[in-house]
Amino acid sequence: MKFKKFKVFNAKSTQGQELQEVEVLFNLDHIISIKPIRISQPNKLLNGFWIRTSNGKKYRASAIPDDLLSIIGEKYQGSVNITLETDEQPFQH
């Protein structure tokens, strides 16, 4: 078994409330997929990951182990810098 530490958001947080992070050990043999996502919080937007395990459960993670991060890409972890000017810009093709 290969265990690694992940930081995931507590599933019991309600919408509009600050998400609480907890550290969890996952067995890497039971992880089916890790997908980069954006996680919305009341005052910021975060880059994060959607982790799916072999038992069908899904977790939103803010941090994954460095060896997995180097495979997926470091640009997918951390805060997203958004300014009002970029939000007001029309979509460019």
Token pair of 56 as six digits: 């069908």
pLDDT of residue 54: 96
- Give the span between the Cα atoms of 83 and 50, in whole angstroms: 25
Dihedral over Cα of 24, 54, 73, 39: its sign = negative
3-state class (DSSP) for residue 86:
helix
3-state class (DSSP) for residue 88:
helix
For the residues of 58-76, what is the DSSP string, one character each?
Answer: EEEEEE--HHHHHHH-GGG
Task: Return the domain boundaries, the chain.
Answer: 3-82
In tens, the pLDDT along 21-52 reads: 899 999 999 999 999 998 887 777 888 899 99
In tens, the pLDDT along 11-20 reads: 665 665 667 8
pLDDT at 74 over 80: no
Which has more pLDDT, 84 or 60?
60
